A and B are shown apart, each in its own frame.
Chain A
């Protein structure tokens, strides 16, 4: 590995961490699409900033562009407050308009601006190490490294200082307000960080892919844990992992680094989406199927309890009366038997004592605890789950 390669990977990893932290809170606060809006609408800010400073890495440009990002948030909220359209429509209206203004500004001044839309949207990480930060003639490393490092340092400081306030206002807005933490300050603080990060990262990974780095690692972490601290750490881990793997993938394919990073994130998300324990697709489908069988079982036991007459309790009767297909009734019958809830004599089914107990308790539970899950009870009675 050459020093350039190491620097690229270092920048990419720092960008990934800097994005993952605000991204986690955006995902938890259901504001993920705001990051998409910000990433588009900073374009006019960048262009105007570039006209004024003529330097893509100037801190003034970053500040100005970040202000455009916050302006977007304010505009969206204003439109939303008028009640004329829904929030998502407000987002969808504001950012294309601002983005269009940016594109037109660039096109109008194409001759004297060395800035094109592709560069802003897609970024070029491969060139980042060549723009060096020189201080008194001493080479202090690439400029983007310093920019994103500063942003990350600010983000981390704010995160550690205001962690419990952020946590509280994310999960229980009203409690936070009652306790005296202004939700407005929290909201705009988070938006400012998101906006500054987006701007700081755009020349490394491009504005649109910042969205991927903000949302995807957080979404992956969301499917893996219920703990906020762990969620941030997992998001950072996956962000850095995708940054480094993505770099080498791009190296092999000779293609865009940011594109490759996103692709790695995409594959990771697909895997987690399918296989995450408890929250993954397969786990959810499995749980739903089990719950379905167990509801069938409960209905069946209730039927048995309600009918003393033998004709209603005949094995063959199940298919007719409760309208199950043969396979289903067989599997439910065997499940009930495995759990010692029924006994079958001469094809006549009757409840055992355990079965009776379970049914009575279940009925009681369903009628009194409408909203809570019945899982605890099932754990106590079932030897084998459906």
Chain B
């Protein structure tokens, strides 16, 4: 299937269109809210919440006996929130550290959920099949109503973020200052955590309990590499998330036996990998290049400083010296000498070099002033 064929199919095929829009909206929503989670150093909270939602789904099914996805999602929401607040309670009131609290809630709730799920499966009720789609997610079961729900949640999240923009921003970067200014920080924290929980619960049906955390983290981690501005990061994360959704759906639709959730996660992971390596400001590649450049400059300045110590002993700073005496000096190369000449720090006549006034001043002030030109 070529790309143009796929795009044509996207416009004609109802199911594919619904799924694509759904995963795109979901990706954007998760990317946006995930940025907050990543910046608040709560990356693994998403993992814990998504696992903690499982017993809620099972209990909601046990109580109502229906598979209506909205009822199940409310169950998931409640148990996700209980898990979240229990984590907070454990960290605040006992000696247990946050990683232990996360791991505890994650595994205990998930285990309880599994107990309920296996219990439900053995019940004499034909209705129970399909609950396990929440484990690994099935994007194919998305219907138009689900997509509308996602859009509404996205709208609400956008509105909340816009409304509390400066408070959230302040809270992210300086929580103590926010408190001292008189903002109700616990309200803000509960608000942002609730939004994250809601977005996780919404995504469970599509990507599943196990992979939901990556939907939250990956786009945000990728976006973080490209910018230092919060607003730009949110926008970028939303774009990355949306694209992972669409591309993931496309790849899994074009091939048999490929579930959507894992593919979306892998696409998002590719975005992260790409950003880690190629982002201009923080990326590993450019960082290495900068590192090499700095090392070269350092060698250059070392040579200049050495020349300075020689020139210092003469009354006339531009007194010529033989190039030979530089030979044993570490860091000296023909190239670096040429570069020094190019920078007009030295002049070369035959096999003799002499420091210029500019070079002399530069070398003199090398250690006592901060030179930022080459950073």
Does B90 reach chain A (CB closer than 8 Å)? Answer: yes
B residues within 8 A CB of A216? Answer: 104, 107-108
How many residue-residue contacts, CB under 8 A, span A and B?
201
Across the interface, name the chain B residue whose C-beta is closest to A88: B43
Does A86 reach chain B (CB closer than 8 Å)? Answer: yes
Q: Which of A110, A117, A285 contacts B257 (CB 8 A)?
A: A110
| Complex Cα gap A256–B118 (Å) | 6
**Beta-carbon contact of B122 and A100 below 8 Å:** no
Q: A84-B282, A101-B266 known; A253 and B115 CB under 8 Å?
A: yes
**Beta-carbon contact of A99 and B210 below 8 Å:** yes
| Complex Cα gap A76–B309 (Å) | 48
Q: A30-B97, A84-B282 known; A259 and B217 CB under 8 Å?
A: no
**Beta-carbon contact of A254 and B111 below 8 Å:** no
Does B269 reach chain A (CB closer than 8 Å)? Answer: yes
| Complex Cα gap A117–B99 (Å) | 26
Q: A104-B258, A215-B104, A253-B119 known; A285 and B93 CB under 8 Å?
A: yes
A residues within 8 A CB of B254? Answer: none
Q: Which one of A32-40, A164-172, A231-239, A375-383 is at the interface? A: A32-40
| Complex Cα gap A84–B216 (Å) | 17
**Beta-carbon contact of B118 and A97 below 8 Å:** no
| Complex Cα gap A218–B207 (Å) | 31
B residues within 8 A CB of A107? Answer: 257-259, 262
Does B247 reach chain A (CB closer than 8 Å)? Answer: no
Query: How far is the CB of A282 from the nearest CB of chain B, in Å?
Result: 10
Q: Which one of A58-66, A186-194, A205-213, A345-353 is at the interface? A: A205-213
Across the interface, name the chain B residue whose C-beta is closest to A85: B221
Q: Which of A36, A110, A261, A266 contacts B47 (CB 8 A)?
A: A36
**Beta-carbon contact of A32 and B103 below 8 Å:** yes
| Complex Cα gap A15–B274 (Å) | 40
**Beta-carbon contact of B90 and A273 below 8 Å:** yes
Which residues of chain B (32-85) have a CB below 8 Å from chain A?
Answer: 38, 41-44, 46-47, 51
Q: A100-B262, A258-B111 known; A121 and B210 CB under 8 Å?
A: yes
Does B294 reach chain A (CB closer than 8 Å)? Answer: no
Which one of A104, A117, A265, A279 has the greatest number of beta carbons of chain B within 10 Å? Answer: A104
B residues within 8 A CB of A93? Answer: 214, 217-218, 221, 269, 272
Does B7 reach chain A (CB closer than 8 Å)? Answer: no
Q: Which of B47, B103, B104, B224 contacts A92 (CB 8 A)?
A: B47
**Beta-carbon contact of B258 and A262 below 8 Å:** no
Does B100 reach chain A (CB closer than 8 Å)? Answer: yes
A residues within 8 A CB of B96? Answer: 27, 219, 222-223
Which one of B38, B44, B90, B225 has the greatest number of beta carbons of chain A within 10 Å? Answer: B44
**Beta-carbon contact of B99 and A255 below 8 Å:** no
A residues within 8 A CB of B114? Answer: 122, 209, 256, 258-259, 262
Which residues of chain B (169-227) have a CB below 8 Å from chain A?
Answer: 210-211, 213-214, 216-218, 221, 224-225
Does A260 reach chain B (CB closer than 8 Å)? Answer: yes
| Complex Cα gap A122–B210 (Å) | 12
Q: What sequence of 0s and 1s flags, for each residue 81-119 of chain A, a beta carbon within 8 Å of any chain B beta carbon?
A: 010111011011100110111011001101000000110
| Complex Cα gap A261–B118 (Å) | 13
Interface of A is mostly: helix
Q: A93-B272, A97-B214 known; A255 and B115 CB under 8 Å?
A: yes
| Complex Cα gap A345–B205 (Å) | 73
Q: Which of A82, A100, A101, A269 contacts B108 (CB 8 A)?
A: A269
| Complex Cα gap A110–B258 (Å) | 10
Does B158 reach chain A (CB closer than 8 Å)? Answer: no
**Beta-carbon contact of B94 and A281 below 8 Å:** yes
**Beta-carbon contact of B104 and A96 below 8 Å:** no
**Beta-carbon contact of B95 and A33 below 8 Å:** no
Q: Which of A84, A110, A254 contacts B276 (CB 8 A)?
A: A84
**Beta-carbon contact of A284 and B93 below 8 Å:** yes
Query: How far is the CB of B119 from the nearest CB of chain A, in Å?
Result: 4
**Beta-carbon contact of A31 and B118 below 8 Å:** no
**Beta-carbon contact of B266 and A33 below 8 Å:** no
Query: How far is the CB of B124 from the nearest CB of chain A, in Å?
Result: 12
B residues within 8 A CB of A117? Answer: 136
**Beta-carbon contact of B262 and A92 below 8 Å:** no
Does A305 reach chain B (CB closer than 8 Å)? Answer: no
B residues within 8 A CB of A259? Answer: 111-118
**Beta-carbon contact of A208 and B110 below 8 Å:** yes
B residues within 8 A CB of A219? Answer: 96, 100, 104
**Beta-carbon contact of A211 and B106 below 8 Å:** yes
B residues within 8 A CB of A209? Answer: 107, 110-111, 114
Does B263 reach chain A (CB closer than 8 Å)? Answer: yes
| Complex Cα gap A118–B258 (Å) | 16
Which residues of chain A (336-361) have a CB below 8 Å from chain B?
Answer: none
A residues within 8 A CB of B284? Answer: 82, 84
**Beta-carbon contact of B221 and A103 below 8 Å:** no
**Beta-carbon contact of A36 and B93 below 8 Å:** no
Does B144 reach chain A (CB closer than 8 Å)? Answer: no
**Beta-carbon contact of A33 and B99 below 8 Å:** yes
B residues within 8 A CB of A121? Answer: 135, 210
**Beta-carbon contact of B210 and A223 below 8 Å:** no
A32-B102, A84-B276, A259-B115 provided; 11 other pairs, C-beta below 8 A?
A: A27-B97, A32-B103, A33-B103, A84-B284, A96-B218, A97-B214, A99-B262, A222-B100, A250-B115, A255-B115, A263-B111
Top 6 closest pairs, chain A to chain B, by CB: A262-B111, A259-B115, A96-B214, A212-B107, A100-B262, A259-B114
18 contacts between A and B (CB under 8 A): A86-B43, A88-B43, A92-B213, A92-B214, A93-B218, A97-B269, A99-B262, A101-B266, A108-B258, A216-B104, A222-B95, A223-B94, A255-B115, A259-B111, A259-B113, A261-B111, A281-B89, A284-B93
